Structure 1
Amino acid sequence: MRVTGIVACEYTELPAALTGTLAAAGLDPVRVYDDVVAAIAEDLPGDDVTSWATIPATQVQTAEFEARGPGVVAGLAIAEMVFRYVLGDVQVDRVPDGTVVDRGDIVLRVTGPTALLLTAERTALNYACHLSGVASATAAWVAALKGTGARVRDTRKTLPGFRDLHKYAVRCGGGNNHRHSLSDMGLVKDNHVLAAGGVVPAYHLVREHYPDVEVQVEVESLDELREALDAGIGQILLDNMGPELLREAVAITAGRAELEASGGLSLEVARAVAETGVDYLAVGALTHSAPVLDLAMELRAVGEA
């Protein structure tokens, strides 16, 4: 007998512990479920022709996700949802997202029909490897800044449709989230300044039209910084300034505003930038350039040690 389809369990059939974990993490479990369904549909528009033809439907094995290097895991709850959608009511054990792991650690274990484990494998790994990569990259920045008082913060440089997940992975790595969308807060950048005729005029226009929304402004020089401070602006982004200029900016500000360094940042210079006294480092690379954490799925016969 061969496999003829996936279980395709409904959202209401998922364990409350799983959906509750996602909700507690700041994710919408219904949206995550819908994304998982779409991801499986993308990978499985028909049959899994290799697995379902070669593996009997009665064969059951245990699949383990093994870390092939050190890092911080994220997205394992989503990987669990993938397996549950494809296989139905199965036993899934996993370490919590945000766990620091080393090479050889088993981070997820699931037992079920072998063919369906293989059907779910790539989608589950895509989520877990990518999001664990974001969490691991973030953790490296957090470690580099330890003891300085500065914090690393993400940006909106995320893959479309992945913003919630990317920002969740940043949190798993110990980082901080900046605004989630264009509607959350105002961020006056160079093109807004050009259109409005200056940093301060642009700031006042945003405050006039959206008085209840926080506003941050980007400045490119110490003169613009002074203008922003004189206008009482409390959140200022220092664009493409080296450590020496940043140190001057911190001294000029003297605690009157929160300062965020942005542009040209790398792990190699992270600590030097943080030690200037800025409050945040804005790092788009956390989400747009993080390498995956290498996780591999290994199959074991049920009961195998």
Structure 2
Amino acid sequence: MDIELVQPFIDNALKEDVGDGDHTSLATIPPGTTGKARLLVKDNGIIAGVELAQYIFHRVDKALSVNIFIKDGTVVKPKDVVLEVEGDVISILTAERLVLNCMQRMSGIATNTNHIVDLLKGTNTQVLDTRKTTPGMRYLEKWAVRIGGGVNHRFGLYDMILIKDNHVDYSGGIARAIENAHQYIEKTGKKLAIEIEVRNQEELDEVIAAGGVDRILLDNFNFADLKQAVNIIEGRYITEASGGITVDNVREYANCGVDYVSIGALTHSVKCLDLSLKAVK
């Protein structure tokens, strides 16, 4: 867990939620009341965000005791107890919603990703996430993809050069875009991999003629064209397929021989795993 990224997110989320105080808890619970709560699973899936939950509880109150029974990446079922937290009740209730919001979304993403990973078993294809993430939660969502067995693509605009259709059009063509990228790397001294998106066979031919890239993104290719493209590339570049890939067709994309399939739905349209935090009486 990258504390430098997580801590500001947690602090901002708590500030957004708590404001000048949890007045319901302050009004109904006597100061100093202690107790215990259990985090319960109400769905089948892959649990994610346990390490984060422990950090949130301790960020709210260092004196809270957290006992973890189930670790990140574990298959869970209804009625499983993930953890118990014990200590000041108002502190537990302050952390409750943030813990659940994060864990439910992360667990949903991990579960969804793990399902795709299972569908890809027996192939040499891995599943990638994208930048289609919730603003402010990208680190957590991409962390959840890893917990589910997927692979992170670039984290943001800063850690890889990905030349897409608009970049090509604004640059004046594929060869010019690749040339400009290399000039930029040489000028800045940055160590950045270069990936380029192609939309058809003609653009693929242009990329192969130009060279100078690390990965080719084959966007919205049908299966016949995708297989042909992989055969033409012949392992000279890492291959990635994207566009319209779902649980129903991901195996067929993988059978075309690509190294990666990228699926934005891993993070942008996922069903959260149902979890709850209940007081132990």
Shorter-chain TM-score bucket reads over 0.9
SS in 2 for 1:204: helix
AA in 1 matched with 2:36:
T
- In the TM superposition, residue 33 of structure 1 has moved relative to its aligned partner by 2.3
1:198 aligns with 2:173: yes
CA contact (8 A) 1:207 1:213 kept: no
Aligned to 1:6: none
Deviates further, 51-60 or 117-126? 51-60
Indicate the percent of aligned positions where both proteins have the same amino acid. 42
1:131 aligns with 2:106: yes
- In the TM superposition, residue 271 of structure 1 has moved relative to its aligned partner by 0.5
- In the TM superposition, residue 48 of structure 1 has moved relative to its aligned partner by 1.6
**What is the root-mean-square deviation of aligned Cα atoms in Å?**
1.6
AA in 2 matched with 1:117:
I
Q: Distance in 2 between matches of 1:113 and 1:234?
A: 53
* Counterparts of residues 1-305 of structure 1 (less than 5 Å): 22=1, 27=2, 29-94=3-68, 95-211=70-186, 212-232=191-211, 233-301=213-281
TM-score, normalised to structure 2's length? 0.92
Aligned to 1:8: none
Change (3 A) 1:142 1:291: same
CA contact (8 A) 2:41 2:274 kept: yes
Structure 1 runs not aligned, ≥5 long: 1-21
Q: Distance in 2 between matches of 1:153 and 1:119?
A: 35
SS in 1 for 2:248: helix
Q: Distance in 2 between matches of 1:258 and 1:109?
A: 45
Structure 2 runs not aligned, ≥5 long: none
- In the TM superposition, residue 171 of structure 1 has moved relative to its aligned partner by 0.8
SS in 2 for 1:210: helix
AA in 1 matched with 2:56:
V
CA contact (8 A) 2:160 2:192 kept: yes
Change (3 A) 1:198 1:295: same
Q: Distance in 2 between matches of 1:53 and 1:218?
A: 57
- In the TM superposition, residue 58 of structure 1 has moved relative to its aligned partner by 4.2
CA contact (8 A) 2:63 2:87 kept: no
AA in 2 matched with 1:150:
T
SS in 1 for 2:202: helix
CA contact (8 A) 1:236 1:258 kept: yes
AA in 1 matched with 2:241:
A
Deviations 1:47-80 (A, max 9, x none): 3222222223343322111111122222222222
Change (3 A) 1:217 1:297: same
